[in-house]
Amino acid sequence: MSDLEKQDLKNKKVIVRVDLNVPLDDTDNVTDTTRIVACKETVNLILEKGGTCILISHLGRPKGKENKFSLKKIVDTVSSVFNQPVFFYEDCIGQGAQEAISKLDQGSIILMENLRFYQEETLGDRVFAKNLSELGDIYVNDAFGTCHREHASTVVITEYFENKKFAGKLLQKELEAINQISNNGKKPVLAILGGAKVSSKLSILYNLIKNVDKIIIGGGMAYTFIKAKGGQIGNSLVEDELITNAQEILMLAKKLDKKIILPVDIKASKDFDNNNQISTFNSKEIDDGWMGLDIGEKSIEIFHQEILTSNTIFWNGPMGVFEKELFSEGTSSICNSLKEAKEKGVNVIVGGGDSIAALKKLGKEEWVGYISTGGGALLESLEGKTLPGVKALM
């Protein structure tokens, strides 16, 4: 992939595909600016090199031109994050859009209207992609979160920018983080997977077991594995149809001399909403009627030791039902152990929706190593796939 840093961008109009799909509250305030902040480095680089930034993005899933999803709503926030005025144009293609861009001074930023106001965007329509390409001279993709989609603005548009298509700084960072987990990370490499279901992470498990040295499995996912090893899991969450897969993964780990670490004790409840009914069990001997909802003290200590004896760590998914305070200790402890590891120089990468939600809820967001901005895109990359948006830049 060619390097954006080395390009001459002076007086160039640079189309930057960004992911400004930010959350808005009922009164249209942006409630989380992470995605805007994330593309700032690329925008600054382009401006420093004398270019003009034409930002293209989607917001939500509009059905046609729905004002509710207009990117105009976020222009002020984008301006304040970028610390300079950001212009807005009410369309993302066409003569009017091109004229608005041609009037800009060098060093300006303009945000174009929601790409998904045209269904052609998600359909990967060639004519639409060509129209988009006519907005500028150079194409930069910095929207890691949408690189797993074969859309007009992420894939098809690149056909019109032979030798003039680049990865933005955020996309480069995300790809490097994935590379650290899957190929190049300093060993031992540890993956910590949690969350509700094995099914959503099965392909990742098959891929990661080949690439990392050890995998901790916690959260609801763990019980399918514990059952696959012959444990009694009471009424805990289980995917019986995946027991064979779990056994296969455990065997594969043995064959490849990789370690799979499961909780040895768990905190369980009889009734999800009844706080009085809590007990700790050996994870292989959970009584009928009891549901494992968090990892226990011994598991916390074992996981802590594994974390502190690793050099590269990827974390995805909570260790328990962290939304409820009573079952948040496991996830919270993992966060603390990761903090300690990071302070010792360990490369910590966190990704996937609920781990970030957990960090935020537990107030531990500040310290983390690298937080990926991609949900689906990150998970697909960790399944070993090259994302269409990334392939298109090669």
196 interacts with ligand AMP by CB under 6 A: yes
Interface residue with ligand AMP among 101, 237, 335, 362 (CB under 6 A) is 237
What percentage of the chain's residues is helix, strand, coil (to nearest 5)?
Answer: 45, 15, 40
Query: 220 or 369: whose CB is closer to ligand AMP?
Result: 220
Give me the residue label for tokens 């933005």.
Answer: 168
- 3-class SS of residue 73: helix
Query: CA 243 → CA 185, 227, 237, 269, distances in Å?
Result: 30, 7, 12, 23
# residues near ligand AMP by CB under 6 A: 15
- The two three-digit tokens of residue 301, written as one number: 């200590």
Contact flag: residue 195 with ligand AMP (CB under 6 A)? yes
In the complex, minimum distance from the CB of residue 200 to ligand AMP, in angstroms, rounded to a whole number: 5
Q: Minimum CB separation from ligand AMP for residue 126, in Å?
A: 36
In 3D, which of 127, 147, 117 has the Cα closest to residue 18? 147
DSSP 162-220: TT-EEE-HHHHHHHHHHHIIIIIPPSSEEEEE-SS-SGGGHHHHHHHHHHSSEEEE-GG
- Which of these ranges, 25-33, 249-257, 281-289, 319-327, lies near ligand AMP under the rule CB under 6 A? 319-327
Annotated catalytic residue 353: yes
| Min separation Cβ 215 and ligand AMP, Å | 15
- Residue 371 touches ligand AMP, criterion: CB under 6 A: no
d(CA 230, CA 334): 26
- Min CB(263)–ligand AMP separation in Å: 9
Q: Which of 19, 113, 329, 354 binds ligand AMP (CB under 6 A)?
A: 354
Examine residue 62 and tell whether it contacts ligand AMP (CB under 6 A): no
In the residue annotation, 197 being an active-site residue is answered as yes
Q: Which of 381, 323, 370 is nearest to 342 (CA)?
A: 370
- In the complex, minimum distance from the CB of residue 239 to ligand AMP, in angstroms, rounded to a whole number: 12
Burial class (CB in 10 A: 0-12, 13-18, 19+), 244: exposed
**How far from 322 is each of 69, 80, 272, 360, CA to CA, in Å?**
31, 33, 13, 11
* 115 makes contact with ligand AMP (CB under 6 A): no
Does 320 contact ligand AMP by CB under 6 A?
A: yes
194 is catalytic: no
Minimum CB–partner distance for residue 179 and ligand AMP (Å):
23
- Binding to ligand AMP in span 146-185, by CB under 6 A: none
Catalytic residue among 72, 126, 197, 361: 197
Q: Does 361 bind ligand AMP (CB under 6 A)?
A: no
Contacts for 238 with CB less than 8 Å, ≥ 6 apart: 223, 224, 227
Determine which one of 107, 353, 375, 384 is catalytic. 353
Q: Which of 11, 119, 184, 200 binds ligand AMP (CB under 6 A)?
A: 200
Residue carrying the six token digits 């902040």: 37
For the annotated catalytic residues, the residue numbers are 35, 197, 353, 376
Q: Given the rule CB under 6 A, which residues bind ligand AMP? A: 195-197, 200, 219-220, 237, 292-293, 317-318, 320-321, 323, 354
